[in-house]
Structure 1
Amino acid sequence: MSLELLGMIGGLALLDMLSPATLGVTVYLLLSEKERIGSRLMIYLGTVAGFYFSAGFVLMLGLDALLSAFSSILENRFISWTMMVIGAALFTASFFYPKGKKRTDLPRPKSKSKASMVALGFTTFLIEVGMAFPYFAAVGLMTTRNLPVYQWLPILGGYNFMMILPPLVLFVLHVLLGRFMQRPLERLRIKLSNTGSALSWIMCIVGLILMLNSVDNL
């Protein structure tokens, strides 16, 4: 496993740290909830990370088995061309994605129970997984490099931890600074409720990474 691969996966994880839905729910909970905020937030973040990890785990096993079963037909060149086409499509589409601000309704808990936090985490996963370009790109990179399980499993776990690290940092700052975090959280809530050019930048960067990673095997 090369440092170049770790660097690319780390860069993709940094993009996924900017998840507007997960951050938005965290900010909402910190601003509106006063009781048991720590346990409820940990249940929520654990649910989001757990579902993402499970999806990545299944994809790694499924893609690896698929490549092994059809390696004589597909080989690496087919996968490389597929990654090149997907990367080029994402890169091109990023320039046409609307960059104006659009108000977005972020998911919110329906009640204060622990079950509602699990349901909220699952809802967040469903909302974001379809647009999780960096995550799918990272899984694709690890699959095409044929990493053994003992290498890609901790990488996948670390990736998912990085995804929920910003909400954890916000929670720690909220605990340490108390009311001094009120105004920064309010400003962050307003920014997170508007979607603009962030997705187009993610599409552009992921597209470039996929194209650069596949060009050597064409």
Structure 2
Amino acid sequence: MSTTMVGALVVLALLDSTSIGTLFVPIGLLLAPGRVRVVGVLTYLLTIALFYLAAGLAIAAGLGAIGDELTRFAESTAFSWAEVVVGVGLIALSFRFDPKRRAARGKTVDWSARITKATGSPGTLITLAISAGVLELATMVTFLAAIGLVSSSTVSWPVAAALLTGYCFVMILPALVLLALRVSLSDRITPALHRLNAWFQKHATGATSWILAIVGFLIARDGFARLAVAYHWFGQ
């Protein structure tokens, strides 16, 4: 395990910490009327972290079980074609996350209403966290990259599990910091939270669209380049 890999995991986790489920919803919980519900916010953050961790461990275990086969497949032209298909698919999927298109189809999710309903009990907060995690599964590109880094390394399974656990902790760390500031500073931090909340409402979905499009392009380009070499499309 190298410091470079750990650094890359930290960067990816911090990127993941800015998603709707890991930051926007917690900010909404912090802005709920009345005194901040510390236990409720912690319940939500613990649930979404455990959801990501469970998904990550399951995916990593699956990759480990088929490690040799996956390596052989990655060297084949079938894998290159798969890259092109997946890349184009991600680009197509990015258009479904375009804010204007989603608004026109009435597909926008009213997270503010969900947050308000969820503040009543721990059960509803847990349901909200799982719902956010499930909705983000299709766009968890950075988390998949982190799982790929861990799975492709030579670390043992306990170390891999510890790395993914640390990743999930870093992922919710900014929300934990905001919670601490909200408790210690009370209403003095509320204006900043409102501004951050407004920015998320305006840009979060659009950012997801761009991330999907960029990742899709990079994957498709890699697959196309590998196919061009394999089939000598541009001569010797």
2-side partners of 1:179 and 1:99: how far apart? 31
Pair 1:19-2:24 in alignment? no
Unaligned runs of 5+ in 1: none
Q: How many residue pairs were aligned?
A: 215
2-side partners of 1:209 and 1:181: how far apart? 40
1-side partners of 2:82 and 2:13: how far apart? 18
Deviation at 1:5, TM superposition (A): 2.3
Larger Rg: 2
Pair 1:28-2:37 in alignment? no
Pairwise CA RMSD: 3.6
Deviation at 1:167, TM superposition (A): 1.1
Deviation at 1:24, TM superposition (A): 2.1
**Normalising to structure 1: TM-score of the pair?**
0.78
Deviation at 1:154, TM superposition (A): 1.5
Pair 1:136-2:141 in alignment? no
Unaligned runs of 5+ in 2: 231-236
1-side partners of 2:158 and 2:10: how far apart? 18
Paired amino acid for 2:147: V
Paired amino acid for 2:75: R
Q: 1:209 to 1:180 in 2, by over 3 A?
A: farther
1-side partners of 2:171 and 2:85: how far apart? 23
CA contact (8 A) 1:44 1:120 kept: yes
User: Match for residue 49 of structure 1?
Assistant: 49
Q: How do residues 73-152 of structure 1 correspond to structure 2 at under 5 angstroms?
A: 74=72, 77-78=75-76, 98=98, 105-106=110-111, 107-108=114-115, 109-110=117-118, 112-152=120-160
CA contact (8 A) 1:104 1:193 kept: no
User: Match for residue 8 of structure 2?
Assistant: 8
Paired amino acid for 2:72: L
1:193 alignment partner, SS class: helix
Q: How do residues 149-164 of structure 1 correspond to structure 2 at under 5 angstroms?
A: 149-164=157-172
CA deviation map 1:48-67 (0-9, x unaligned): 00111001011111110022
